[in-house]
A and B are shown apart, each in its own frame.
Chain A
Amino acid sequence: MSMFVYYLGLGWRSLRRNPVLTALMVMAIAFGVAASMITWSVFRVVSGNPIPWKSSQLYNVQIDNRGPQYNEPGNEPPDALNYTDAVALMQAHKAPHQTMLYDIAPSVLPQNANDLPSTTTGYATTADFFTMFDVPFKYGSPWTNADDDGHAAVAVISDALNQRLFGGANSVGRDVTLDMHAYRIVGVTEHWDPKPRYYDAYDNMEFANPAQVYISVNRAVDIHVGMAGRNNCGGAPAHFSNDEQWLHRECAWIPFWAELPTQADAERYKEFLTAYSAEQQQAGRFQWAPNVRLRNVTEWLDHEKVVPAESRISLFVSIGFFIICLVNTIGLLLAKFMRRSSEIGVRRALGATRREVYAQFLMEAATVGLAGGVLGLLLTIVGMQGIGLLFEPDVARLAHLDMSLLLTTLIVAVLATVIAAFYPTWRAAQVQPAWQLKSN
């Protein structure tokens, strides 16, 4: 321990001896680590697994309902289902849990008639949505499958909307007016905002503000609650002239998810999807062989290319930048250590072992790394304020400073500097005491 303090003191004194060189190294490490940490703070969120405990059991379903001539390369079917197929799969009930959903953006009337209406975003979906995606509830509970079957006018609202409309009180049993229609509130969710929002990557909502309302899809379709998401007819001519035809046209707009606990379940479900498509082929609706896809959460996020290219490129550039800063540090440490060859010679002649020389110089490098880390921390904090310049607001919001980021910054800075110091230290330890003493 006393040696540790002694080396720390030696390191400190040596750093003060060439302040310019030291400042150079500290700044290089600080800039490198700060750039890496700022871009990492975004990347760790956009590339994260939003539901790690269940991501291999939740599957997105795709069915080719338009034919190979309209498909993406690789005969990739549309990324969402049309209404006909979604309803058929719901009714077949071949998975323990399954859900369909579409984006809605209804207006909400305030409880106080003098206030102005406002907009909300959310989903028309089914009861299983909440159990499948582990939505936490503050008050009440999800609606039931019976509510879905009965086309009930029920709603689940978010904590934020509950705060806005009811001042945070338990609103279960009260009514909420969405697009001029009344819905009975059955539950209020806790703040729930998985990022990326895997279950709605189809609508490019991965990083959107959290949803505020959920209503039963059967009811929504009955009363024509408008679809606010993406509708992809993929170039296939769509003939329709009324609502019923519009609903059943071959356009993709309904993400469909199934919960399949085991690999065997997933295989069985895929067989079912294939059989369903074959049935449709026999019935004459599909003029092509069954073409289905089943992707779990991570595969789905990958397929949807959820990580923005900007995030990846800026992370790579920052890491490249950090590496250059480290190469620079190796060079400067080498210069600094070798300049002290005679000092090393004297120490070795006086009985210091190679190991002690190692310890001393690595300690000195760690001091540089720590100083770089602290400065890098400050730069990271400043840089986080400017992150809005780099990413669109939805993504920029995700970046936040937390303890783990601060600790990582320090640890990465110290560790990287110590690793960079290995070669210069090894060279320093190779100094022959006799030669040094002779030449002076």
Chain B
Amino acid sequence: MQIKPILAAMRRHKAGTILIGFQIALTLAIVCNALFIIHERIARVSRPSGVNESNLFVITSDWADNSSNDNIDAQIKADLTALHQLGSVQDATSLNSFPLHGTGWDNFIRMTPDQIHMTTDASVFLADEHTLGTLGVKLIAGRNFTPDEVQSLTIQDMKGWPAIIVSKDLAKVLFPNGDALGKQIYASNNNTPSTIVGITDTLQSHMMDSDDNAFAYNAVLVPMREVGTGYVHYLIRARPGQLEAAMRDVPKALIAQNRMRIFDPDDGEMTFAQVRAKAYERDYGMAILMGIVSAVLLAITAAGIVGLTSFWVGQRRRQIGIRRALGATRNDILSYFMTENMLIGVAGVVVGTLLAIGINLWMVTHYDVARLSGTYLLVGAVVLLLLGQGAVLAPALRASRVPPVEATRSV
């Protein structure tokens, strides 16, 4: 196939050539970045929480009467006793926050008392001896809390935390040699050390901001019941297959304990599946939007190529006829249009790649977006070139069917 005559012909319809090339370039730039965003969001959504999420739900009780911390502490204990007695409930725990919750308490973790900059940041889960069992998180080293270790805590009263359990990932950040068990760290706001008495398997923190990605698996469990915040979260593991029954029984049992409490009608009671859906709804939304945009963009670009090429074929019927009369085969005509499209496509893809990198670099500096990987550019470029070839096929076939006799017509 000779390229020179194609280039010469392109010079005769510069505008259309540039428009198609430009459209391919822009589409590549946007589709690459969109696919990359989809990939990043899906990777985020599919990361494990470490929690056994089936048969688990959360009920949040707001207290109507906050006046006495002691009363609330006693009420939480009574609530938990009542919950453990329900037939549909396998295990239950009180927490200040929980994995994927988005809001909660994070503390800077330090290795020495006078250290100014944190070693890392971690979720503080104010837990009890039932927390690990309820969440379905295994202990990989050390021991669980004992019932008499669990005390009450208000944010106004900063007790030390002598014994803590940390997540596997936090242990690894703090003690890369793997000897975290039994070591002391400074995790509380009080300047007394905390001894690591246990290490859990993977456990996600409450932090959901992409800024906090580095701390996403850092969690410290402290044997405390938090009072004085106006609410408490109960996490409840239903017996297998009894999630619905438990979600009916639990609010009734709690109201029977004390009716001066409030369950928010919107998110007072949520299955862990709902917690997960809520935690990642922005990610799903972004992925869906980018998916729709990419699909529609590719369709529009293909349609644009079909439209313009059809026009060129119509415009050049006579020339095609002449070429055919002079001995060009159908294949020659077909490959002429395919090659022409390929040339425009390659030029568009080159410009588009540069644009895609530019857009990505701009997003890297302004938003929490990672560097675009070369694979996306490669895949995007191949997809667009194939799309172009596919789109041009129909008009090119029509061109190849122009009979040689066309050369003699309309002169």
Residues of A within 8 A of B (CB): 21, 24, 27-28, 31, 35, 69-70, 105-107, 109, 116-119, 179-180, 226, 228, 231, 233, 235, 237-243, 246, 309-310, 312-314, 317-318, 320-321, 323-325, 327-328, 330-332, 334-336, 338-339, 389-392, 423, 427, 440
Question: Do the beta carbons of A235 and B108 come within 8 Å of each other?
Answer: yes
A226 and B308 CA atoms in complex are apart in Å by 67
Of all chain B residues, the one with the shortest Cβ separation from A323 is B26
A324 and B384 CA atoms in complex are apart in Å by 14
**Which of B67, B286, B297 contacts A324 (CB under 8 A)?**
B297
A338 and B316 CA atoms in complex are apart in Å by 12
**Which of A35, A312, A327 contacts B22 (CB under 8 A)?**
A327
Of all chain A residues, the one with the shortest Cβ separation from B210 is A309
Check B175 for interface membership: any CB of A closer than 8 A.
Answer: no
Min Cβ gap A18→B in Å is: 9
Q: Given A31-B296, A116-B259, A242-B156, are A331 and B289 neighbors across the interface (CB < 8 Å)?
A: no
A252 and B239 CA atoms in complex are apart in Å by 43
Question: Do the beta carbons of A179 and B282 come within 8 Å of each other?
Answer: no
Check B65 for interface membership: any CB of A closer than 8 A.
Answer: yes
Question: Do the beta carbons of B30 and A339 come within 8 Å of each other?
Answer: no
Question: Do the beta carbons of A339 and B26 come within 8 Å of each other?
Answer: no
Q: Given A317-B30, A324-B27, A390-B288, are A70 and B189 neighbors across the interface (CB < 8 Å)?
A: no
Instruction: Specify which chain A residues have a CB less than 8 angstroms from the CB of B30 in the assembled complex.
Output: 317, 320-321, 324
A309 and B41 CA atoms in complex are apart in Å by 14
Check B179 for interface membership: any CB of A closer than 8 A.
Answer: no
Chain B 20-61, CB-CB to A under 8 Å as 1, else 0, gives: 101100110110011001000000000000000000000000
Question: Do the beta carbons of B303 and A24 come within 8 Å of each other?
Answer: yes
Chain B 139-177, CB-CB to A under 8 Å as 1, else 0, gives: 000000000000000011110000000000000000000
**Which of B157, B191, B229 contacts A242 (CB under 8 A)?**
B157
Q: Given A180-B66, A331-B307, are A231 and B26 neighbors across the interface (CB < 8 Å)?
A: no
Min Cβ gap A431→B in Å is: 13
A339 and B363 CA atoms in complex are apart in Å by 42
Of all chain B residues, the one with the shortest Cβ separation from A235 is B108
Of all chain B residues, the one with the shortest Cβ separation from A237 is B191
> What's the dominant secondary structure at chain B's contact region?
helix
Question: Do the beta carbons of A339 and B156 come within 8 Å of each other?
Answer: no
Of all chain A residues, the one with the shortest Cβ separation from B229 is A226
Question: Do the beta carbons of B158 and A334 come within 8 Å of each other?
Answer: no
Q: Which residue, of A28, A116, A241, A324, has the highest number of chain B Cβ atoms within 10 A?
A: A324
A-B contact list, 16 entries, CB within 8 Å: A24-B307, A70-B116, A105-B230, A106-B66, A117-B261, A119-B62, A180-B66, A235-B118, A242-B157, A310-B286, A312-B367, A324-B26, A331-B307, A335-B16, A389-B289, A392-B282
Check B315 for interface membership: any CB of A closer than 8 A.
Answer: yes
Check B244 for interface membership: any CB of A closer than 8 A.
Answer: no
Instruction: Specify which chain B residues have a CB less than 8 angstroms from the CB of A323 in the assembled complex.
Output: 26
Question: In residues 236-262 of chain B, which contact A (Cβ within 8 Å)?
Answer: 259-262
Instruction: Specify which chain A residues have a CB less than 8 angstroms from the CB of B314 in the assembled complex.
Output: 339
**Which of B27, B67, B262, B363 contacts A117 (CB under 8 A)?**
B262
The 5 closest A-B pairs by CB, nearest first: A335-B311, A117-B64, A390-B285, A235-B108, A328-B304
Chain B 397-411, CB-CB to A under 8 Å as 1, else 0, gives: 000000000000010
Min Cβ gap B114→A in Å is: 9
Q: Given A35-B293, A309-B368, A328-B300, are A389 and B23 neighbors across the interface (CB < 8 Å)?
A: no
A434 and B219 CA atoms in complex are apart in Å by 82
A336 and B308 CA atoms in complex are apart in Å by 9
Chain B 262-300, CB-CB to A under 8 Å as 1, else 0, gives: 101000000000000000011011101110010011001
Instruction: Specify which chain A residues have a CB less than 8 angstroms from the CB of B22 in the assembled complex.
Output: 327
Instruction: Specify which chain A residues have a CB less than 8 angstroms from the CB of B20 in the assembled complex.
Output: 331
Residues of B within 8 A of A (CB): 15-16, 19-20, 22-23, 26-27, 29-30, 33-34, 37, 62-67, 108, 113, 116-118, 155-158, 189-191, 228-230, 259-262, 264, 281-282, 284-286, 288-290, 293, 296-297, 300-301, 303-304, 307-308, 310-311, 314-315, 363, 367-368, 410
Instruction: Specify which chain B residues have a CB less than 8 angstroms from the CB of A231 in the assembled complex.
Output: 155
Instruction: Specify which chain B residues have a CB less than 8 angstroms from the CB of A423 in the assembled complex.
Output: 15
A243 and B158 CA atoms in complex are apart in Å by 10
Instruction: Specify which chain A residues have a CB less than 8 angstroms from the CB of B286 in the assembled complex.
Output: 310, 313-314, 390
Min Cβ gap A371→B in Å is: 16
**Which of B15, B158, B293, B307 contacts A332 (CB under 8 A)?**
B307
**Which of A69, A107, A109 contacts B117 (CB under 8 A)?**
A69
Question: Do the beta carbons of B282 and A332 come within 8 Å of each other?
Answer: no
Question: Do the beta carbons of B307 and A21 come within 8 Å of each other?
Answer: yes
| Given A246-B155, A317-B289, 19 further pairs, Cβ under 8 A | A70-B116, A105-B62, A107-B230, A179-B67, A179-B230, A233-B189, A235-B117, A235-B118, A239-B158, A310-B282, A310-B285, A321-B293, A324-B27, A324-B297, A325-B300, A328-B301, A335-B307, A339-B314, A389-B288
Of all chain B residues, the one with the shortest Cβ separation from A309 is B367
Question: Do the beta carbons of B285 and A226 come within 8 Å of each other?
Answer: no
Instruction: Specify which chain B residues have a CB less than 8 angstroms from the CB of A440 in the assembled complex.
Output: 410
Question: Do the beta carbons of A338 and B315 come within 8 Å of each other?
Answer: yes
Instruction: Specify which chain A residues have a CB less than 8 angstroms from the CB of B26 in the assembled complex.
Output: 320, 323-324, 327
Question: Do the beta carbons of A313 and B363 come within 8 Å of each other?
Answer: yes
A304 and B260 CA atoms in complex are apart in Å by 37
Of all chain A residues, the one with the shortest Cβ separation from B67 is A180
Min Cβ gap B363→A in Å is: 7
A241 and B410 CA atoms in complex are apart in Å by 100
Q: Given A180-B64, A226-B66, are A327 and B19 neighbors across the interface (CB < 8 Å)?
A: yes
Question: Do the beta carbons of A335 and B310 come within 8 Å of each other?
Answer: yes
Min Cβ gap A253→B in Å is: 11
Of all chain B residues, the one with the shortest Cβ separation from A70 is B116
Min Cβ gap B264→A in Å is: 7
Min Cβ gap A434→B in Å is: 17
A109 and B262 CA atoms in complex are apart in Å by 11
Instruction: Specify which chain A residues have a CB less than 8 angstroms from the CB of B368 in the assembled complex.
Output: 309
Question: Do the beta carbons of B311 and A339 come within 8 Å of each other?
Answer: yes
Min Cβ gap B315→A in Å is: 7
